[in-house]
Amino acid sequence: MNKINAVLVGNPNSGKTTLFNRLTGSKHHVGNWPGVTVDKKEGTVVYKNNEINLVDLPGIYSIFPFSIEERVSREYILENEVDVIVNIVNASNLERNLYLTLQLLELGKPVILALNMMDAVEKKGIEINLRKLEKELSITAIPIIAVKDVGKNELLDSITEISKDRINFKLDYGEHIENLISKYMVKHQDYDERWIAIKTIENDEVIKDIIKHDFDEDYTNQITSKKYDYIDELLEKVIVYKKNNYIGMTDYIDKVTTHKYFGIPIFLMIMAFVFFLTFNFGGIFVEKLDFLFNDIFAPFVDATLLKMEVFPWLRSLIVDGIIGGVGGVLVFVPTIAILFVFITILEDSGYMARAALIMDKWMRKIGLNGKSFIPMIMGFGCNVPAIMSTKALEDENDRLVAILINPFMSCGARLPVYAFLSSIFFKGYEAIVTFSLYLLGVLIAILMAFIFKKTLFKSEESPFIMELPDYNVPDIKSVSIHVWEKVKGYIVNAGTVIFLASVLLWFALNYNFAGPSEFVNSFGAMIGKSIAPIFAPLGFGDWRAALTLISGAVAKEIVVANMHILFGTTINLIFSPLSAYSFMVFVLLYVPCVATIGTIKRETNSWKWMFFSIFYQLIIAWTVSMLIYQIGLLIF
């Protein structure tokens, strides 16, 4: 079987990862903003006796290494045996997308141009002369609609048939620059000699290892301008605009959603509506699952074990520890699933990119730009990929700020804590309480970003460049895959980490150094009582509340599991509505899970920033919760 190595390269929102998923059947999320695909993803396609290894590289606008994503993409193409580059472009916006195409052609490797979203091209009354485009660029151009599998086989045919010989695309940069290119062309076993010369003239850092020369004059802008001039000339030759009165849905919607004054209120209303639907629909399933676990399954297991004459301690471990802990978390699976359905729909529809745009003005007031808001939005799902997505930020100081504030964004794992406590103390107002917590997290994150940019991470404002995708109806398959992956991760976590934590907590609550013990004299009680006074000013100085927070540093879902084990039906005796809200605020703001802490260490490559993140978040959490509780006492 013939083996072919192909890479998918394209601008963000060009449909690159959608195509990758369709070709390979991989279960990777497709998002409508830069930074979702941060690392390369690989998959295999077997087609007509060919085994095609496909690599999905990060979405980029250029292979000039400004951002981490651009460096990842360029390094992979240059340093690996790549047989063919599949360049996916948004066919309805060729002017923007073809700049990357020209850069790829200059690498000297075989390139296939995949013209995606051809249905949008037709709707807009645009006609592309494919044969003339192929002739001008000396490459194969395949029209596709990735989300509908249109053109998939034709693209695979081209990948298997394309010659592995280097292509000979040459863009004339004018006499002076062409003379310089001729002067600095050198033979190299890995790189095209003309590409080496162009990169030398642009003072590219990578090429300095091959040719040690610095140009005083900045030729980069001249080369860039020439590329765009060529694109303008090319489009005049290959594009025909028909008479068409079509005004896209995107134009109509954007007049409202990106409005100068209404944009942010609309965003807040949409998020509030999401939480309203999440709790109103999710709450129905939660009540039924809670009844199933606590009123049917647990008593049945307990009775069965009693008949089998199982040791009382083992029966207690299984019923109170495992079923009580794991079951207490699993009842919130529907709520989690519904939230992710709505968040994914907003992402895949193209709306979340608008959220970054409307926030750009306000983000600039704290020294960042709208692109920094993207990881914050992603943090609503999970802080781990959100922190990884900060690689899309060009400025290193902006990236560090975005990493340090991201844990304040309330991830999906915290939602069960809010749902559990708000259903007890704020019955009927769960959505409002939860929305207030999410909003508080955003406000604290923005405040800390402002402080950081004025103190530790001063830097010039970086430009905000983002291509807004057209609005579209989310692909049901894509939404289903993403939601299932999130729910599956939650369930797996419940069956592993939370299972283990529930077992350990049961032992900690039933034993001490002398062996089996009373609840109040156990290891857990000793640990909880030693730190409980710290939380007294926050309204929850009970040792059981303190113990749940310690375990919650492993995974936030464990907080709910432990509450079921520790409090049972007595939680109303420990918390008041005010102290319960203070507790939820602390859960929102204190240290994230160990997976997020590990990601902070990996992405900053620094123990210093990891420990700084842990300690400053604890201080913020304690301070804000204390203020809420103490001020609340004065008011109420």
DSSP 126-140: EEE-HHHHHHHHTSE
Domain locations along the chain: 2-161, 175-241, 263-457+480-635
More confident residue, 369 or 592: 592
Residue 31 has a pLDDT of: 44
Answer yes or no: is pLDDT of 37 > 50: no
Task: Spell out the residues 6+ positions from residue 616 whose beta carbon is closer than 8 angstroms to its own.
Answer: 404
Highest mean pLDDT range out of 31-45, 399-413, 488-502, 542-556? 399-413
How many H-runs (helices) and E-runs (strands) does the chain carry?
A: 30, 10
Q: Which of 156-165, 418-427, 576-585 has the lowest mean pLDDT?
A: 156-165
Strand positions, DSSP E, 520-587 = none
Task: Spell out the residues 6+ positions from residue 102 whose beta carbon is closer than 8 angstroms to its own.
Answer: 171, 227, 230, 231
Q: What is the mean pLDDT of the chain?
A: 82
DSSP letter assigned to residue 409:
S
Tokens of 246: 């079509």
Of 290, 291, 325, 331, nearest to 563 (Cα)? 325
Tokens of 207: 């090429």
Helix-helix angle 430-454:607-635, to 10 degrees: 130
Highest mean pLDDT range out of 79-83, 243-247, 427-431? 427-431
Distance CA 284, CA 302 (A): 26
Tokens of 630: 């103490």
Tokens of 510: 């039933």
385-413: average pLDDT: 84
Tokens of 140: 């194969």
Of 625, 544, 630, nearest to 590 (Cα)? 625
Answer yes or no: is pLDDT of 32 > 50: no
Distance CA 335, CA 435 (A): 14
User: How far apart are the two ends of the chain, measured CA to CA in Å?
Assistant: 75
Distance CA 93, CA 95 (A): 6
Distance CA 478, CA 485 (A): 11
Of 158, 155, 135, nearest to 145 (Cα)? 155
Task: Read off the pLDDT of residues 50-71 as tens digits, 9 standing for 90 and up.
Answer: 888 888 888 888 877 666 667 7
Residue 392 has a pLDDT of: 67
Tokens of 211: 């040719």
Q: In a 3-state reduction of DSSP, which class is residue 141?
A: strand
Q: Dihedral of the CA atoms 487, 489, 495, 499 (nearest 10)?
A: -110
H or E segment to which residue 330 belongs: helix 324-330
Q: In a 3-state reduction of DSSP, which class is residue 145?
A: strand
Q: Which strands, in side-by-side order, build the sheet including 50-56?
A: 41-47, 50-56, 2-10, 84-90, 111-116, 140-143
The strand pairing partners of 145, in sequence order, are: 150
Distance CA 434, CA 410 (A): 10
Task: Read off the pLDDT of residues 111-168 as tens digits, 9 standing for 90 and up.
Answer: 999 999 888 888 777 889 989 998 888 889 999 988 888 888 899 988 888 755 556 6
User: What does DSSP say about strands 515-516 and 511-512: parallel, antiparallel, or unpaired?
Assistant: antiparallel
Of 91, 109, 111, nearest to 158 (Cα)? 111
Architecture of domain 2-161: 3-Layer(aba) Sandwich (3.40)
